[in-house]
Amino acid sequence: MKQELAWEEGIAKGAAVAAWRLPHGEEAFLLQDFSGGSILEEGWNLADLSAGFLAAPFIGLPYFLQADSVTSFPLHSAESSKPFDAPVENLAKKTEFMGWVSEAIAAIKQGPLQKVVLSRTDEQDLPADFKVMTALQELGAAYPNAFVCALSIPALPGVWMCATPEILVEQNAAGIFRTISLAGTQSGVDADGFGISPSQARWSQKEIEEQAFVSRYIIDCFKKIRLREYTEIGPKTISTGNLLHLKTEYIVDTKAMDFPQLPGLMLGLLHPTSAVCGTPKQEAVEFISRTESHDRSMYSGYLGPVNLGNATHLFVNLRTVEIKENHAVFYAGCGITEDSDPAKEWQETQMKCQTLQRILMQ
């Protein structure tokens, strides 16, 4: 596979390399920054960047990969038909995570914290013949409406991969800006292994309220920049492979409004969103930092191509795995409100980890 060779050769030469496929795309792209990429300085501006690729951690400044080389290749691999045996639950991690959730519920009841998103990790070994570009092909086939990506930066250990359904900031060549609120999760597969239609989904008050927090957060950001003209679509149920979510979409015609700086402004206001952090933001960040025992690093940050073909596509880095040789660290999180059930939240993270595990561990 030519792209596998290009990927491995780029890494061997010290380049920063990103490969991705946009949702519903028919081809993937491989970008190389021969200098190894760079960390942007405080005060950086999205509109001032050259064509390239951005990758930001949960907290901290983003890495920028300039487009020294960009090639495209078709996605043609079919989804693996091998049966998936879910990994055995790690009882120690389960006990720890459920304890965090209980602490969060207690904190929310006391206020002012209203919602917090807690995450955890699941460590597994990958097959000995694991190949990054082959896995990217299979992820693209399995999750056609997700942004699938593989990223290698010399300053970061290992390779990061994701299959995320969540747009953070997107603007096409026609100047149409989009962002979404995506929250609330349930299995997209029934007890017999068959897919559940979005029209069959039934949502609890907890899940509806969890998604509403994210929607209100976006609207509050619009208010801060005095943006009143936008289209709101949803909430509606969407399918992302093995999961169902609630989604609301927000659309702005930046050319009609003469507002070209909107993507950069919204990126600065949105990240980290209520969907990966919580409400109020500062209280949620503080709770996460003193509770989670792992470093999120690039998980729940954002990534994607910028200013390529006069378009920018940045996605929240969800359904994420960090790969070092053949060892994988899967990341997953869930939104906690006062109505949360620790056992159900654990199960939600299990389903989210399996989004990648069912493809990468075959």
Domains defined along the chain, listed by start: 2-78+89-360 (3.60.120.10)
* pLDDT in the model for residue 195: 83
Give whole-number Cα distances, 105 to 177, 299, 330, 350, in Å.
36, 23, 24, 20
pLDDT band at 36 (very low <50, low <70, confident <90, very high): very high
pLDDT at residue 80 is higher than 60: no
For the chain, the average pLDDT equals 94
- How far is residue 329's CA from residue 320's CA, in Å, rounded to a whole number? 8
Kindly state the percentage of the chain with pLDDT values over 70. Answer: 98
Give whole-number Cα distances, 168 to 243, 315, 334, in Å.
19, 5, 17
**331 or 79, which is more confident?**
331
pLDDT at residue 214 is higher than 80: yes
Arithmetic mean of pLDDT, 218-222: 96
* pLDDT in the model for residue 194: 80
Contacts of 210 (CB under 8 A, 6+ apart): 115, 183, 184, 335, 337
Question: Mapping DSSP to helix (H, G, I), strand (E, B) and coil, where does residue 249 land?
Answer: strand
pLDDT at residue 213 is higher than 60: yes
- CB contact at 8 A, 302 and 318: no
Determine how β-strand 302-306 pairs with β-strand 167-171: unpaired
What predicted TM-score, i.e. pTM, was given to this entire model?
0.95
Arithmetic mean of pLDDT, 72-82: 71
15 burial (CB, 10 Å; 0-12 / 13-18 / 19+) is: buried
Contacts of 215 (CB under 8 A, 6+ apart): 181, 235, 248
pLDDT tens digits, 283-315:
999 999 999 999 999 999 999 999 999 999 999
Arithmetic mean of pLDDT, 77-98: 84
Q: Nearest 5 degrees, angle CA 45-CA 180-CA 43? A: 15
pLDDT tens digits, 243-288:
999 999 999 999 999 999 999 999 999 999 999 999 999 999 999 9
Question: Looking at 76-85, 163-172, 320-329, which range is the least confident one?
Answer: 76-85
b/e for 104-128, b at 16 or more Cβ within 10 A?
A: bbebbeeeebbbbbbbbbbebebee
* pLDDT in the model for residue 237: 96
Instruction: Provide the strand spans (E) within the chain.
Output: 16-21, 27-33, 38-39, 52-56, 63-66, 69-74, 115-125, 147-152, 159-164, 167-171, 176-187, 231-240, 243-253, 278-279, 302-306, 312-316, 320-324, 327-336
DSSP state of 322: E
* pLDDT in the model for residue 81: 61
- How far is residue 241's CA from residue 322's CA, in Å, rounded to a whole number? 21
pLDDT at residue 75 is higher than 90: no
Contacts of 171 (CB under 8 A, 6+ apart): 177, 178, 254, 262, 263, 311, 312
Give whole-number Cα distances, 121 to 94, 97, 232, 310, in Å.
10, 10, 34, 36
DSSP state of 89: P
- CB contact at 8 A, 9 and 126: no
256 burial (CB, 10 Å; 0-12 / 13-18 / 19+) is: exposed
- CB contact at 8 A, 276 and 181: no
Question: Looking at 60-74, 76-90, 248-262, 275-289, which range is the least confident one?
Answer: 76-90
Arithmetic mean of pLDDT, 125-132: 95
- CB contact at 8 A, 144 and 23: yes
Contacts of 219 (CB under 8 A, 6+ apart): none
CA atoms within 13 A on the CB side of 48: 6
- How far is residue 34's CA from residue 54's CA, in Å, rounded to a whole number? 15
* pLDDT in the model for residue 85: 87
Residue in the structure block whose two tokens are 């691999």: 77
